Structure 1
Amino acid sequence: MPACGAARDCVTRTDVTRKSRMSSKDSDSEILDVAVIGAGVSGVYSAWRLASCKGGGTPLKAKVFETSGRVGGRLLSVTPPGIPGTRVELGGMRFTSSHTRVKVLLEQFGIPTHPFPVREPQNICYVRGHRLRHQDLKTPALIPYNLLSDEQTPRSLDVGFVAVSAERVLRSMQKRCVDLAKVDWKDLAERYLYDGVRLRDLPLHYLLQRNVSDEALRFADDVSGYNSILYTWNAADGFPWNLDDFGRDVKYFGITPGFASLPTKLAKGFEDAGGQILFKHRLESFDVGWEGDRDLIEMQFAVDGDKRCTIKARKLILAMPRRSLELIAESGAVLGRAPENDRVRNLIRSVTPIPLFKLALGYRFPWWETIDPVAVVTDQGTQWRPIRKGVSITDLPLRQCYYWATDPDTGNAVVLIYDDGRDLEYWAGLRERRESPAYSQRVTEGGDAEWNSHKAPELMVNEVHRQLLEIHGVDHRKDIPFPYAAAYRDWSEDPFGGGANFWHLHVDSEQVGRDILQPKPSLPVFICGEAYSHQQGWVEGALQTADQMLATHFALPPPS
């Protein structure tokens, strides 16, 4: 088989030499109608829809090629030992009430969901050494930040300082008060300027800094639990994303059998329609040629690490994030280093991968429930509530702690840690696998293969445990044992490069979102996935770009 990099760097329609490389032996081999690279959500969804919409009764010859040994991509649902009825999400973990594609697919496949609680009023917000409850964040006297007088109003604290800043930016741009719920951000980005500059050319963090105090911005960043969502965006995309996905009226839902059950169902639907998924197939390079008067893609794969194979297809879908695309050899008519491919490279690099990790810890009992309950005012009157579900937040490097589940039979419980962005530097040395041994799990029986294959670094587990006790104010208690099991997934590792992708400064995301679907209009190579969507970081975004690609370039009708 041809070695990686054998394909030429550029090709034109009149390239007779390239055309002649297709020998009679090549033309006799199987040629797929569509090859899909990546068995994440966008990949298996695209394959499923293509296989389900057969033209003229002729079965579509399609295959999905996946580097790893599983379906799901950045969806990774695992079962911890000692808690058999629970699926912990080491990858994507929820969807929102506005994610209609996800919602309808889950209903179609009969996959049950449940409310996903987040900021329960009794849960902890530990910032600047002050142990508050979430309900305290609307009481200025309790907040350890020097907010300005107009930032201490009930409304400012209720809607949040991203919304306050957005309102002030819009008032400056349009010379009138604007209802954020009715803003057309696309129109705003095209027609209006802020101090003579388009929003896509201004960092979100810059406009936040210009329109609220530094203390208000630090407060917003600390209590968000994230280290990236106020820093990485251009303002044209950052404002609507933050307001839509983390607004006060957003409702979240979890998937009871695990989010990975959705791509698993899609994969089965694709296979039932005659498709095939090939695992341990890593795309090394590809080039475009012709068979007669039709385009043909020739792909070189590494199989199981040490073997090679060549696959041909009439159309190629790269259902991959930025880093995965960059790992393909810079050769051929699309990715080669020739000047005519500069546009393709710029499209691919229009987003920033955001590193993040998940760490799940199993405990012998839910010790957080033994902390004294607090009074919470509800519509039914005052209730005394312990910490049982949702998330606690801190400005310590730990950042977010989700109380995931407690097993009703064994009493074992699991928490999930989420961290992204700047604080990952703190964990870098502790998670270095070459220096830090894996955490010694007290129990492994009952955990599924995925849990047991994602070993957590010992130093990291010990430090996370210490910070958990500090956040909850129980570091003096001797009855709280170390975790009996731990699992860890760092999504910054190849081939993902990050857990989400955000639009760069100066990028016209609307134009890029259209162009990336077929980066070279004359060639049958297509790109889809969460990275280049307008629902970045969400499964909905992966489905959104896949639907747009299938409608625009494969003539598929919109899904019902």
Structure 2
Amino acid sequence: MKHPDTDSKLRKCKIVNIVLAVVIVVLILVICIAIPLVAMDDGDDDKKSNTTGLTGRTLPFARVVQPCNLSSLDDADVQDVIIVGGGPAGTFVGYRLKTENTSPQYKVLLLEATNRIGGRLYSVDLPGIDFNVAELGGMRYIPSSQPYVEEVIKEMNIPHKPFLMDEENDARPYLFRDIFVQQKDLKTAGKAAYRLNKEEEDLTPSEVESLMWEAIVPPDQRHLDPDERMTVDGFSLLHYGTVNTYNLANVSDDAHNYAIDGNGYSIAYSNYNAATSVGEGNATSGGANYYRAPTDGMATIPIRLAEEFEKSGGRIKKNTTVTAIDECEFLDGQKVYLLTTYNYETLETVQYIARKVVLAMTRSQLKRIHWDALWTSPKRESVDAVISHQATKIFFAFEEPWWRKESLQYLNLTHGRSISSLPSRQTYYFTAPNPAVSNRSFIMLYNDGRFARFWKALASDSFNKFRTSNSAIFPMTDTLVKEVVKELALNHNTTEDVIGQPYFGWIMVWDNDLLPRYVEGYGPYMPSESWALWAPGYDYTEETTKIIKLDENQNIFICGSVYSLQQGWVEGALEHADTMLTTYFNIPSYLSPSGMQAMKMSFYAKRRVPFYP
């Protein structure tokens, strides 16, 4: 028999449990309501919400707001188009959209993650140098085969000048496996430094290249479309990587290494789509006036496009990275897109709404966005149809051009480049034009592939910092400077004393494996590959258009040089953006019929990817 108090205690426990359950439910509701409200962009007044839990300047890639609660919005809250990315493609899209539709009611907003316009075009001034900028990214263009760049430069009235290469200088130095030679001796360099077959011993690196390309596809087939070219074991070259097909050339392994070392571009021999490499040869052999460059730097191109975009009524917000894109509907059934962003200036999360979205981004940047189509679209494999590559640029300024000293006069170096098989790879020379006023000059080292990571390891806070440098993202270190001076001495057959010490240094690493972060003294850093090449197994003539609209049911578009037919730093970005605009925005092509024909000829005549930086 139960005691009377037992039933009473049980009733009290049940009541307490019910009360606790109610309290828990209320707390959950309060927490949900307390999540920051969606902040919308309306004109110049942004309604912003503080992001809970983000106390430092870290980059949030988790969603911190509940998306798609759009019942209270009206038309004034919506952008017609939001462009993500302030590089050449993004600024070109903005400029074209607003100059074709100048109505103030047509609202176009460009969001840029960093504090500058330019993307992978990044021009800076070196202290004490006033005759040339330092190009941390793309540094030149080819007027004869890059009609988009040429047309933008003409329309924007951008001053330009020759980018001198001096490829005909027979005295310029090469270093092959610690053996120093000059260009005039290249036919003997191979057998001195490499184990070559007898028939390979008297070839230059570029002649070995030609031998390989011609074996893959004979010259009389280069005018054909990729799927019409020769096959290997019954399969189109589209299915092979370049390295997979080298056995066709019947060249020795060391001859292949000789060609790589003499070309100066390691990634040019990565295993990318064999059909794109056909007949490529040495893309930097166009003579002294083959290249040109804007007088104030390549970044002038996107900067001028951005200026004209704003003059036409477009708006730009910097320091703003997109972390998520969600599809939503108004109460009337209109489909819109909700972009969740993080603003580095205010340390706040802000959301924007657009009817259309253009993602003018590299592959690595694209994959950092929470966007369902990247995982659910039937065309999602197109995102990985390219291979990303790393590159490094190192700049050193000297009080005088040591390469013009008396002991090195025989090399006849004033501009152009030298090539080495050491990690420094290519050295470019920029010599003071008026030494009576100032003799300060500078060099640039370019290297890519595995060599880019060699230098990145030395640009670390683990080492002592070099005394003068503006390299905020990647510190210039004493260890790195010491290694460069040592290699320069070997590359030029001289001593480290002749090279001397630079008075200033700067390094830029283009590496998509790094994480985004905020760098004090610089601002937001969004890592990116230097450039990309089409991967084996993909018909790039189809993939380049397929990728533009990854989800056929969404008005979200992708464009940029990474997925273009002119992969590199600039031309492909404009070409791919133009294709997107003509196909999905009803905007006529930017090129004249003759310019369009020049672009097509540059592709089918095989002056295609890569246009080297």
TM-score range, shorter-chain basis? 0.7 to 0.9
* In structure 2, C-alpha distance between the alignment counterparts of 1:295 and 1:48, rounded to whole Å: 25
Partner SS for 2:235: coil
Q: Between Structure 1 and Structure 2, how many residues are aligned?
A: 512
Determine the structure 1 residue equivalent to 2:404: 369
* In structure 1, C-alpha distance between the alignment counterparts of 2:284 and 2:429, rounded to whole Å: 19
Determine the structure 1 residue equivalent to 2:451: 423
Deviation at 1:170, TM superposition (A): 2.5
User: Contact (CA 8 Å) 1:37, 1:319: kept in 2 or not?
Assistant: yes
User: Contact (CA 8 Å) 2:205, 2:258: kept in 1 or not?
Assistant: no
Superimposed CA distance per residue, residues 313-368 of structure 1 (whole angstroms, 9 cap, x where no aligned partner): 11000000011011112x44x23x4xx33532x12122121011111001111011
* In structure 1, C-alpha distance between the alignment counterparts of 2:208 and 2:326, rounded to whole Å: 49
Partner SS for 2:341: strand
Determine the structure 1 residue equivalent to 2:415: 389
Partner SS for 1:516: helix
Partner SS for 1:208: helix
Give the number of the structure whose alpha-carbon radius of gyration is greater.
Answer: 2
Deviation at 1:550, TM superposition (A): 0.5
User: Contact (CA 8 Å) 1:159, 1:247: kept in 2 or not?
Assistant: no
Superimposed CA distance per residue, residues 350-392 of structure 1 (whole angstroms, 9 cap, x where no aligned partner): 2121011111001111011125567xxxxxxxxx762111001
Partner SS for 1:257: coil
* In structure 1, C-alpha distance between the alignment counterparts of 2:113 and 2:188, rounded to whole Å: 51
Deviation at 1:459, TM superposition (A): 1.5
Contiguous gaps of at least 5 residues in structure 1 = 10-17, 172-177, 375-383, 445-449
Residue type at the aligned position of 1:65: L
* In structure 1, C-alpha distance between the alignment counterparts of 2:294 and 2:207, rounded to whole Å: 28
Residue type at the aligned position of 1:350: A
* In structure 1, C-alpha distance between the alignment counterparts of 2:285 and 2:126, rounded to whole Å: 32
Residue type at the aligned position of 2:236: R
Contiguous gaps of at least 5 residues in structure 2 = 1-36, 39-50, 52-61, 517-525, 593-613
Determine the structure 1 residue equivalent to 2:441: 413
* In structure 1, C-alpha distance between the alignment counterparts of 2:90 and 2:226, rounded to whole Å: 28
Does residue 266 (structure 1) correspond to residue 305 (structure 2)? The answer is yes
Q: 1:372 to 1:481 in 2, by over 3 A?
A: closer
* In structure 1, C-alpha distance between the alignment counterparts of 2:390 and 2:529, rounded to whole Å: 4
Determine the structure 1 residue equivalent to 2:335: 295
Determine the structure 1 residue equivalent to 2:567: 536
Does residue 206 (structure 1) correspond to residue 206 (structure 2)? The answer is no
1:91-490 counterparts in 2 under 5 A? Answer: 91-96=137-142, 97-118=144-165, 119=167, 120-138=169-187, 144-151=193-200, 157=204, 160-171=207-218, 178-179=219-220, 182-188=222-228, 192-211=230-249, 212-239=251-278, 242-243=280-281, 245-246=283-284, 251-291=290-330, 292-304=332-344, 306-329=347-370, 331-332=371-372, 334-335=373-374, 337=375, 340-341=376-377, 343-344=379-380, 346-370=381-405, 372=407, 386-406=412-432, 408=434, 409-431=437-459, 433-441=460-468, 455-475=475-495, 478-490=497-509
Determine the structure 2 residue equivalent to 1:86: 132
* In structure 2, C-alpha distance between the alignment counterparts of 1:105 and 1:70, rounded to whole Å: 20
Determine the structure 1 residue equivalent to 2:113: 67
* In structure 2, C-alpha distance between the alignment counterparts of 1:138 and 1:108, rounded to whole Å: 45
Deviation at 1:439, TM superposition (A): 1.5
* In structure 2, C-alpha distance between the alignment counterparts of 1:243 and 1:65, rounded to whole Å: 39
Q: 1:61 to 1:296 in 2, by over 3 A?
A: same
* In structure 2, C-alpha distance between the alignment counterparts of 1:541 and 1:489, rounded to whole Å: 22
* In structure 2, C-alpha distance between the alignment counterparts of 1:466 and 1:368, rounded to whole Å: 15
* In structure 2, C-alpha distance between the alignment counterparts of 1:43 and 1:526, rounded to whole Å: 11
User: Contact (CA 8 Å) 1:8, 1:287: kept in 2 or not?
Assistant: no
| Larger relative contact order (Cα-Cα within 8 Å, sequence gap ≥ 6) | 1
Q: 1:107 to 1:296 in 2, by over 3 A?
A: same
User: Contact (CA 8 Å) 1:401, 1:416: kept in 2 or not?
Assistant: yes
* In structure 1, C-alpha distance between the alignment counterparts of 2:507 and 2:195, rounded to whole Å: 37
TM-score normalised by structure 2 residue count:
0.78
Q: Of 520, 527, 530, which aligns to 2:558?
A: 527
Deviation at 1:121, TM superposition (A): 2.8
User: Contact (CA 8 Å) 1:35, 1:313: kept in 2 or not?
Assistant: yes
Q: 1:285 to 1:244 in 2, by over 3 A?
A: farther
RMSD: 2.6
Q: 1:151 to 1:489 in 2, by over 3 A?
A: same
Deviation at 1:299, TM superposition (A): 0.4
Residue type at the aligned position of 2:343: V
Superimposed CA distance per residue, residues 182-236 of structure 1 (whole angstroms, 9 cap, x where no aligned partner): 52242435xx421222212211012224312222211110011111111131201
User: Contact (CA 8 Å) 2:85, 2:112: kept in 1 or not?
Assistant: yes
Deviation at 1:422, TM superposition (A): 1.7
User: Contact (CA 8 Å) 1:204, 1:238: kept in 2 or not?
Assistant: yes
TM-score normalised by structure 1 residue count:
0.85
User: Contact (CA 8 Å) 2:123, 2:298: kept in 1 or not?
Assistant: yes
Q: Of 549, 553, 560, which aligns to 2:584?
A: 553
User: Contact (CA 8 Å) 2:121, 2:569: kept in 1 or not?
Assistant: no
* In structure 1, C-alpha distance between the alignment counterparts of 2:573 and 2:407, rounded to whole Å: 42
Partner SS for 2:231: coil
* In structure 1, C-alpha distance between the alignment counterparts of 2:199 and 2:286, rounded to whole Å: 20
* In structure 2, C-alpha distance between the alignment counterparts of 1:526 and 1:141, rounded to whole Å: 48
* In structure 2, C-alpha distance between the alignment counterparts of 1:196 and 1:279, rounded to whole Å: 51
